[in-house]
Chains A and B, each alone.
Chain A
Amino acid sequence: EDQVTQSPEALRLQEGESSSLNCSYTVSGLRGLFWYRQDPGKGPEFLFTLYSAGEEKEKERLKATLTKKESFLHITAPKPEDSATYLCAVPYRTDKLIFGTGTRLQVFP
């Protein structure tokens, strides 16, 4: 069964304390992995697409990496404004996405 699992469910960090979020998947024939950020009361905002193992993408304090079984979202020296829920998703069947339940990140000053 196609599945996406994210861990941890919640993460509390002090400002400047770097950490990583995990997204593991069981989908045959991976055709991409997507990361989104979701602020409370808003729709998910697209961050990155990764297509092949070994690929990395960066945006400000965020870096996403991909292996054959999982993806990591590394957050370097986070700031309070990085607080949000981070979602990952993978395609299945045609052009549909299956989403993980997300990691809720809180960064305290």
Chain B
Amino acid sequence: NAGVTQTPKFQVLKTGQSMTLQCAQDMNHNSMYWYRQDPGMGLRLIYYSASEGTTDKGEVPNGYNVSRLNKREFSLRLESAAPSQTSVYFCASSESIVGSGTYEQYFGPGTRLTVT
């Protein structure tokens, strides 16, 4: 099992460019998440998906959109990149089901994004 995979590993964008970060999990998990990690700020939730076909905003959703393509895949899109979006982005998945308890999340290796 590969667990959670993310592409690309590194990306440099110019202000105003767009891109999509891809995430896939092979653990048959229901829930998937996108976080960003900045020095001194910890991991902050951007968007999450509790099940296929549903998405919801997290703590810092502005400037991002997501798509839960199927149970395995959850993508994050930056429509018009800004320098403030320079960060490390992590995707995670969990077998959590809303209303039945919270389970551990498993993380991908991250995408290091620089916006100039």
Residues on A facing B (Cβ under 8 Å): 31-32, 34, 36, 41-46, 49, 87, 89, 91, 94-97, 99-102
Contact = CB atoms under 8 A, between A and B. Distances in A.
Contacts of A31: 101-102
Contacts of A36: 107
B109 interface: yes
A100 B42 contact: yes
A43 B107 contact: yes
A45 B107 contact: yes
B53 interface: no
B98 A42 contact: no
Contact of A46 (B102, B106, B110): B106
Interface of B: 4, 31, 33, 40-45, 48, 50, 58, 90, 92, 94, 96-99, 101-110
A95 B94 contact: yes
A26 B98 CA distance: 22
A36 B58 CA distance: 20
27 contacts: A31-B101, A32-B101, A32-B102, A43-B4, A43-B90, A43-B108, A43-B109, A44-B90, A44-B107, A45-B107, A46-B105, A49-B104, A89-B43, A94-B98, A94-B99, A95-B31, A95-B96, A95-B98, A96-B33, A96-B45, A96-B48, A96-B58, A97-B45, A97-B102, A99-B42, A99-B44, A101-B42
